[in-house]
Structure 1
């Protein structure tokens, strides 16, 4: 698809605005929109945006990093093949973007370009990463008078009562995703009150990250759509915050991943291949630092805790949902197609380009160094004694956002992959959030995450 075709499509469908989307270091999704006038030119040359937006945290507080502030601009250069008409936003389209400097080159701080670089490193070995996201989210209704939010229902996990309660929303969500060419794999009610889960088909890493941005936008956008509000006679809201309510199950964004060479799944070899074992070993070794990218918010560590099926210790297991890395059992007759691993210590406050790029960097390090996986853990690691965990090299994952960011800063493999500019700006943004939320109360934390993710 080229700029001329998109401009004609926008005219034919009566689009009034096209959003130029990006996901920043704070994990929030932002946009500048172009009207129809001048759209084709902006699709070719981009839209200007201040360099300061790359050091804006999720509280809209600007951080001080050299070269990113009130002086200077980037260009939001659209990836034209990501253009979509948004079913939940009348007369509106959207396109994902890269950040370029005024010299036309990708900016060092561009997260989407970082993932492209990591894909290129894999491609040198003839490999590509395929990933699929499972998004858990909370569906809530808003009180008209005091504007407070409450879970849509209090049904049981996988309950058909809960499934029916969310049926109109689920129908609208699936239709909206399919209209954007995003295949839906599964949808069901989860453990928490009002909690839903939707998984989408696996895809090459960059496409998967692009689609994750669109899925997050659609989950929230459908809930706020005028059509659904009129049908239900109630105002809904959806949040992917990791822990929207203290007494309810948290929301993860699990990542299923595998390595492919053309149409061949290189994770498969009558079980897990040596390549898969080495890649997963790299992910496991770098997992504490990787958490700084995959579970990067203050609220993330309300969710990651022993006994919550979120993965709180550095270990892996076969269908062990208390391990942060789960190797999923395959389906009979489709063993090669369904061989994959799942990263559970990930949530929707992450930037998906950074999460998948970091995953590739960690896994590649495992391949390059020939790392070996320890024995799989076949029980809840919290049930092991301290001595047993120490003997097996099992340690707790970071206990809070600050620990995760410190682990990332110490991880030479991940920071080398990110590069100095992206590392500095990312840590500045996320550490500023730690300072703000650690000084606040639970209500401040709830509002700051529920309404923004």
Structure 2
């Protein structure tokens, strides 16, 4: 026997691997992408041909350790143990195999970064979330989650003055307006079909506030699956647009004068089949943990310079470290259950798609679990727009550097991240803050809309 993920014995082939090989053959997948999310929040990966899939699904594909020191501008940072010497393997999770409807002939699997002997690597984001889920499980809890993403749909055109490319929105419809449904209809139907084919059950969809802005949510899942789903969602939103000669951006603020794109994080906590967020005590402690760590959490849930262009008061982004029942200006909203089958859940509003979803959700779990263990009091819920009462409520960080300072000072989250991961993340994100310092909004927004 071997500890390598997906490994087989001579007489007992892993049935998950066998099913993947059969599906790839039946569906005609010529290339299978092994995807992961890096410290810059970028979705990266390598692909194997179908003829080599049987080998690569167990061995993984070789990868330099240095890639986890790369920022979103493809600038390599100087991080100890993440240089030219060293190798990891991109090892796919067979249970995540899906054909890609928007890329005929291709399929994908979400992947872990592992050492050559198959053991976990200390800089793997997906492993960080797995460990957080295990810590929560050791206390008897299971988290279900869903990201609620927004994106801007349009076309990427050259700037007539020679500046960076522009994102020209598909329409100028109003929020929730019927014209927004109609102008984006063909794209939206293709997107829904592509998501459903990959096992992402669509909940609802509507035109949002800004020109070309759309919101489409998928059903909640267990924490790891929710993060995997968000990677697939990001890839599919953009892939479908590209095949229709359009451009879709999930960047927090792709157009500086227009509404920003959030990816609000919805959470429910379960024990023995019961949603314990129906209990004011457990829910309150979890909220207390989120609020206690929220300044540091924003460095992970709002993971880019562009995030803080969105995270401002009076735009429903949750710029204040408060909680409230159905308060859409509070960072943590206690959501009213919808319908007879609705379940209590929390919405974390300072969250967007430039974040690495594995690091983001893993850190949220650690923060909430700390609140439960220490029975942290969240304080009184806020029933007003906190921005209307200047100076009364704590404001969240206003820049990526400020959020990173808070993260470095947060012992709980720094310990959870571990030495290699935290050193790499801080180096990558500090470099991004420095790279955009002094640059204008057009440059910043362009770089983010082309990546996210």
Aligned to 2:260: 250
Which has the higher mean CA deviation after the structures are superposed, 281-290 or 435-444?
Answer: 435-444
The residue that corresponds to 1:371 in the other structure is 376
Q: Say whether 1:83 aligns with 2:83.
A: no
- 1:428 is matched with 427
Residue among 123, 127, 135 paired with 1:109 = 123
Corresponding residue for 2:215? 197
Pick the aligned partner of 1:324 from 331, 334, 337: 331
Residue pairs, 1:438-449, within 5 angstroms: 438-449=437-448
| Cα distance in 2 between the residues matched to 1:385 and 1:22 | 42
Does residue 319 of structure 2 align to residue 312 of structure 1?
yes
Alpha-carbon separation, structure 2, partners of 1:278 and 1:2:
39
Map of 1:95-244 to 2, 5 A cutoff?
A: 95-143=109-157, 148-225=166-243, 229=244, 235-244=245-254
Distance 2:239 2:37 in 1: 16
SS of the residue corresponding to residue 38 of structure 1 reads: helix
1:145–1:348: structure 2 CA closer, same or farther, 3 Å change rule? closer
Is this contact kept in 2: 1:177–1:183, CA < 8 A? yes
CA distance in 1, matches of 2:438, 2:328: 33
| Superposed CA offset, 1:73-110 (max 9, x none) | 10111111001100000100000100111232110001
Q: Secondary structure at the match of 2:320?
A: coil
Q: Distance in 1 between matches of 2:172 and 2:268?
A: 36
Does structure 1 retain, via aligned residues, the 8 Å contact 2:205–2:216?
yes
How many Å apart are 1:143 and its aligned residue?
Answer: 4.0
Q: 2:366 is matched with which residue: 351, 361, 365? A: 361
Native 8 Å contact 2:167 2:255 kept in 1: no
Do the aligned partners of 2:253 and 2:307 also contact (CA within 8 Å) in 1?
A: yes
- Structure 1 stretches lacking a partner, 5+ long: 230-234
Structure 1 pair 374–415 and aligned structure 2 pair: CA distance change class (3 A): same
Cα drift, residue 373 of structure 1: 1.4
Does the CA contact (< 8 Å) of 1:328 and 1:341 recur in 2?
A: yes
d(CA) in 2 for partners of 1:123, 1:447: 41
Query: What SS does the corresponding residue of 1:324 show, helix, strand or coil?
Result: strand
Pairwise CA distance, 1:160: 0.7
Secondary structure of 2:203 counterpart: strand
1:138-169 deviation digits (Å, cap 9, x = unpaired): 00123489664300001110001111110001
Distance in 1 of aligned mates of 2:155 and 2:118:
45
Q: Given that residues 408 and 415 in structure 1 are in contact (C-alpha distance below 8 angstroms), is that contact kept between their aligned partners in structure 2?
A: yes
Q: Which residue of 1 aligns with 2:388?
A: 383
Give CA deviations for 1:260-300 in whole Å, capped at 9, x if unaligned: 1242111113xxx3111101110011000000000010000
Q: Cα RMSD (Å) of the superposition? A: 1.3
User: In 2, are the aligned partners of 1:242 and 1:348 still within 8 Å (CA)?
Assistant: yes
Whole-angstrom CA distance in 2 between matches of 1:439 and 1:170: 38
**Match for residue 58 of structure 1?**
72
260, 264, 271: which is aligned to 1:261?
Answer: 271
Query: Is residue 2:352 matched to residue 1:342?
Result: no
Match of 2:4? none
Is the CA contact 1:296–1:405 (under 8 Å) kept in the aligned structure 2?
no
Compute the displacement of 1:419 (Å).
Answer: 0.8
Residue number in structure 2 paired with 1:303: 310
Structure-1 residue corresponding to 2:12: none
Q: CA offsets, 1:314-353, max 9 Å, x none?
A: 111111111111001123423xx42000000000000000
Q: Where does residue 232 of structure 1 map in the other structure?
A: none
Tell me which moved more, 98-107 or 424-433.
Answer: 98-107
Identify unmatched segments of 5+ residues in structure 2: 1-14
- How far apart in 2 are the matches of 1:367 and 1:144? 51
Whole-angstrom CA distance in 1 between matches of 2:74 and 2:259: 28
TM-score (normalised: structure 2): 0.94
Maintained 8 Å contact 2:166/2:446:
no
State the distance in 1 between where 2:339 and 2:190 align: 33
| CA distance in 2 between partners of 1:399 and 1:293 (Å) | 14
**Contact map agreement 1:83 1:96 (CA 8 A) in 2:** yes
Deviations 1:97-135 (A, max 9, x none): 001112321100011001011111111111111101100
- 1:296–1:404 contact (8 Å) kept in structure 2: no
Aligned to 2:32: 18
